[in-house]
Structure 1
Amino acid sequence: MKWKVCGMRDLTNIEAVAACEPDYMGFIWVEKSPRYVGVDFVIPALPAQTKAVGVFVNESTDTIISLSKKARFQVVQLHGEEGQDVIDALHAEGLTVIKAVSVASAEDVKGLNLKPDYYLFDTKKGSQVGGTGERFDWSILKAYAIDIPYFLAGGLDEASIEEAKQLPGICALDFNSKLELSPGLKDLTKVKEIMQNI
């Protein structure tokens, strides 16, 4: 099972979390997010096996592509209403695409017809995009039958790992607010617990 730590911002904290060798680390380019890294942020060097993920909401394709080169990420996570045209444009630049879907009911995972590399299922809570610290009803995903692997997010912590691993089609667990001391600052003790139990 792969794992991702999202919402990184503090350079010292990034280095410490990277030393735990998650498969992915997420960096948020969404101005209204308390974990926003800023337009001039450049991702520091990460371990070879850790992929940097740029997280966006309805950002222009040109901006995402430009930032991918400037800030050094190879994976893009889309949390808005982006369509297949955006996914195709990012694929054409050699970027891997994760398409996030906010989930409140089974209807939210039915009829998915985009072709990202991965989906990401997170908890729907008003207009909030990720980082809710709350989980949705995972039984909804037992009927997931699309041949696209997915990341699971929303209130994940060390105690929920074993249950989450049993879900069909899952490929990675995405941790954020449950590991935090404050927005963007991860608790290294909790991160190490994930590393040991994943």
Structure 2
Amino acid sequence: MKWKVCGMRDLTNIEAVATCEPDYMGFIWVEKSPRYVGADFVIPTLPALTKAVGVFVNESTDTIISLSKKAGFQVVQLHGEEGQDVIDALHAEGLTVIKAVSVASKEDVKGLNLKPDYYLFDTKKGSQVGGTGERFDWSILKAYAIDIPYFLAGGLDEASIEEAKQLPGIYALDFNSKLELSPGLKDLTKVKEIMQNI
């Protein structure tokens, strides 16, 4: 089971969380997000086994590619209406792509036809894109029948790990708001608990 800590922003906090060596660490380039890192943010050196993820919503492909080189991430997480053309363009640059899907019913996971490297399933809440801190009904994922592994997000904490591990096809757990002291600042004690449980 892989795990990701998303919504990182504070350099000292990034260094502290990095000592727990999560498999992925997410950085959000979405201006309206309280966890927005800023246009000039550069990701500090992470442990060799921790992959940096740039998170975007309907950003231009050119901007994502440019930022990947300037800020230093190898994985892109897309939360908007990006299509296969965007995924293909990012793949052509050697980037790994995670496509986020907001989930409220079985219909949200049945008709998926894109070919990212991974899907990410998060809780659907109106027009909000990610970061709800709320969990959806995981039994919905029984309707997911595509052979593409997925990240699970939405209100995950240390208490839900064992249940999440039992889900078929799951690749990684994506933690964010439930580990926070404030937006973008993670509680290291909780992160260490996650590390030990996984």
User: Partners of 1:136 and 1:45 in 2: how far apart?
Assistant: 34
Paired with 2:129 and 2:38, the residues of 1 have a C-alpha distance of 17
Over the aligned positions, Cα root-mean-square deviation in angstroms equals 0.5
Count of residue pairs the alignment pairs up: 198
SS at match of 1:133: coil
Could you list the per-position Cα deviations for residues 7-38 of structure 1 after superposition, in whole angstroms to 9, with x for gaps in the alignment? 00000000000000000000000000000000
2:96 is aligned to: 96
TM-score (norm 2): 0.99
Percent identity of paired positions between Structure 1 and Structure 2: 96
Counterpart residue number, 2:40: 40
SS in 2 for 1:105: coil
Q: CA deviation at 1:129?
A: 1.4
The corresponding residue for 1:197 is 197
Aligned to 2:69: 69
Q: Work out whether residues 110 and 145 of structure 2, in 8 Å CA contact, stay in contact via their aligned partners in 1.
A: no
Counterparts of 1:89 and 1:193, CA distance in 2: 38
Task: Name segments (4+ residues, structure 1) moved above 6 Å.
Answer: none
Q: Distance in 2 between matches of 1:110 and 1:64?
A: 28
Preserved CA contact (<8 Å) 2:55 2:76: yes
Runs of 5+ in structure 1 lacking a partner?
Answer: none
TM-score by length of 1: 0.99
Matching of residues 8-157 of structure 1 within 5 Å: 8-157=8-157
| 1:143 Cα deviation from its structure 2 partner | 2.4
Q: CA deviation at 1:154?
A: 0.1
- SS of match in other structure, 1:71: helix
Q: In structure 2, what is the equivalent of residue 171 of structure 1? A: 171
Question: Which ranges in structure 2 are unaligned for 5 or more consecutive residues?
Answer: none
Three-state SS of the structure 2 residue aligned to 1:172 is strand
SS in structure 2 of the partner of residue 30 of structure 1: coil
